[in-house]
Structure 1
Amino acid sequence: MKLMSGNSNLPLVGDIAAYLGLPVTEVSVRRFADEEVFVEVLENVRGEDVFVVQSTSFPANDNLMELLICIDALRRASAKRITAVIPYFGYARQDRKPGPRTPISAKLVANLITVAGANRVLSVDLHAGQIQGFFDIPTDNLYAAPVIAADIQARFTGRSITVVSPDVGGVVRARSLAKRLDNAPLAIVDKRRERPGESEVMNIIGDVRGRFCILIDDIVDSAGTLCNAAAALKEAGAEDVVAYCTHGVLSGAAVARVETSALSELVITDSICATEEAETAAKLRILTIAPLLGEAIKRIADESSVSSLFD
């Protein structure tokens, strides 16, 4: 078994390697003068079970090409099995046609990864569960909920917790977390999105007065939805509001927006390599999912159950 990495999230790969007690396979990923990606695997991988860790986060296209070329290099080097470990699967929000003459880019990316030569895919909190069906190869979708629930129980035991979904589409995710927190009450923020990147909070479904509210979502991008939801919850009488999101995309002025918002704290995982601004922000905290990914990789290599991780 070998562990290999592109350049998108080297700290996470180092933590996974430490968990597994494995060295990271030596690989050279570099650019030509015209920004073409070139990959050279510097170790023998013939007949090996290789796991390539690469989030397709910003810059999404560069990181995606690195992943595809790494997979192709391994296939041509006669690796026995290649597993693409994609902690954050970019293009996942383009999982359907929102209008006429628009692409389903998540399916296109799935095709690219499969054709490049991947035999298996491992990801975390896919934006839409049906993306697993876009791949014609085995696909495991891990959940960060156990890591998030453990952190909440360690820090906020004794508080009157209500789990809040920032929109109707995230109710299943919120209900799953609420179940892990001893069946905590559930509330929903009814939101109407007027245009991409902007959201308007309409009302709160559920009683949050005097409650410690935990907003849960899979992706925080511009942070507009979370900040608006936090303000609405405070107006509805919430005692305090903390947000947990698996993937901290945090584009543009997102970090500054969080810092001046009604949120007491935003907790993200290291599925995406945090920027210096995010690491130093007062209201941001980062949880590691390296043990979760490391254990899943170990179980795949051993041909044992991955789903039992979440029992």
Structure 2
Amino acid sequence: MKNEPMLFALEGSQEFGKAVASELGIQLASHEERHFEDGEHKARPMEGVRERDVYVLHTLYGDEDHTVNDKLLRLLFFVATLKDAGARHVTALMPYLAYARKDRRTKERDPITTRYVGQLFEAMGADCVVTLEVHNRAAFDNAFRCRAEHLEAHSLFVEKLREKLGSEDVVIVSPDSGGAKRADRFRDAWEEATGKRPANAFMEKRRSEGVVSGEAVVGDVSGRVAVIVDDLVAGGTTLLRAAKACKDGGATQVYGVITHALFGPGSEKLYDAEELDELLITDSVKAQQKAPSDSNVTVISVAGLFARAIRGLNTGEETSALQD
């Protein structure tokens, strides 16, 4: 059926792609990827795509098999290949978007890589890009001249936390003042689900030459369950600093809510950190260091979120309805 979405998932993202396809009730479309001795590669669809609405999924984080740059280039080339093969619309689905952290100039002559990535997708002919919880939503919205859709997993986290916490008094904490807008959107999701708007707080944070300092919590966490909300965690230092400050400030429990669990070197300290009662993450990234089964880490799937976005895009729904 030509009106049925056609979904490809590139090498390294096929496990997640199969979960999305299952939610949609379809099979992943078949494609071929070849690797050459000099490090070059090619990918091509093994099914006709002419006049079809095609979706390509690839999560852009570095792992043992592929670097970030390698994954980005493979996705860009495949988007262009689909356009050359006659696809009507091509949408790039990126559960984790690489280079989204450098979205503005903080030092003289700094790059703005978020915008450069947007220009690359535009040059390859992408009609739409969809990603989950970028570092700076405003920068993401402004970086792409094609249609750009931003998904958030806040409602999924809220649902899981409500199961655990019931009617406990909650305060939503940003690990720095720059994440206040993200924390506010999480509060919006909490209020929509419960009818009650939780309190908010944020951590004092200063960074100089890679060294993070600042220990004060701005806001009242005493006697409340603190929910620390951030877009990603790599080493975990910032998260644990905020968790300790909340515990020291009288929080009854502390939960971490992190969308992208990059889990780089040193992150193993998060698995049983006494500062955290539980760490909630999504499966947007297949963590390079898998948490042991007895750890305090809980994984929430966002495959259904991407399936709903595909369904909405495929039927022409308004942007605001894509996550509903």
Relative to the length of structure 2, the TM-score reads 0.91
Residue 176 (structure 1) aligned with residue 185 (structure 2): yes
CA distance in 1 between partners of 2:239 and 2:265 (Å): 15
**Could you tell me which residue of structure 2 aligns to residue 57 of structure 1?**
61
Using a 3 Å threshold, how does the CA distance of structure 1 residues 293 and 255 change in structure 2: closer, same or farther?
A: same
**Could you tell me which residue of structure 2 aligns to residue 96 of structure 1?**
104
Unmatched 5+ stretches in structure 2: 191-195
In the alignment, residue 136 of structure 1 is paired with which amino acid?
R
Using a 3 Å threshold, how does the CA distance of structure 1 residues 134 and 165 change in structure 2: closer, same or farther?
A: same
In the alignment, residue 189 of structure 1 is paired with which amino acid?
M
Indicate the SS of the match to 1:176.
Answer: helix
**Could you tell me which residue of structure 2 aligns to residue 78 of structure 1?**
86
Aligned partner (choices 35, 41, 48) of residue 37 of structure 1? 41
Deviation at 1:280, TM superposition (A): 4.1
Contact 1:241 1:262 in 2 (8 A): yes
Contact 1:162 1:187 in 2 (8 A): yes
Residue 106 (structure 1) aligned with residue 114 (structure 2): yes
Alignment of 1:85-164 (within 5 A): 85-129=93-137, 130-164=139-173
CA distance in 2 between partners of 1:270 and 1:95 (Å): 24
Residue 195 (structure 1) aligned with residue 209 (structure 2): yes
CA distance in 1 between partners of 2:30 and 2:225 (Å): 47
Deviation at 1:259, TM superposition (A): 3.0
CA distance in 2 between partners of 1:184 and 1:200 (Å): 27
Q: Give the number of equivalent residue pairs.
A: 310
CA distance in 2 between partners of 1:231 and 1:16 (Å): 37
CA distance in 2 between partners of 1:188 and 1:272 (Å): 26
Aligned partner (choices 6, 9, 15) of residue 11 of structure 1? 15
Unmatched 5+ stretches in structure 1: none
Contact 2:268 2:289 in 1 (8 A): no
Aligned partner (choices 261, 277, 284) of residue 297 of structure 2? 284
Using a 3 Å threshold, how does the CA distance of structure 1 residues 137 and 126 change in structure 2: closer, same or farther?
A: same
Contact 1:120 1:138 in 2 (8 A): yes
CA distance in 1 between partners of 2:102 and 2:292 (Å): 28
Aligned partner (choices 218, 234, 242) of residue 205 of structure 1? 218
Superposed structure 1 runs of 4+ greater than 6 Å apart: none
Deviation at 1:32, TM superposition (A): 1.1
What is the RMSD computed on CA atoms of the aligned residues? 1.7
CA distance in 1 between partners of 2:53 and 2:23 (Å): 17
Indicate the SS of the match to 1:277.
Answer: coil
**Could you tell me which residue of structure 2 aligns to residue 27 of structure 1?**
31
Aligned partner (choices 270, 282, 298) of residue 269 of structure 1? 282
Using a 3 Å threshold, how does the CA distance of structure 1 residues 261 and 116 change in structure 2: closer, same or farther?
A: farther
Deviation at 1:74, TM superposition (A): 0.7
CA distance in 1 between partners of 2:292 and 2:121 (Å): 31
**Could you tell me which residue of structure 1 aligns to residue 193 of structure 2?**
none
Indicate the SS of the match to 2:280.
Answer: strand
CA distance in 1 between partners of 2:286 and 2:60 (Å): 11
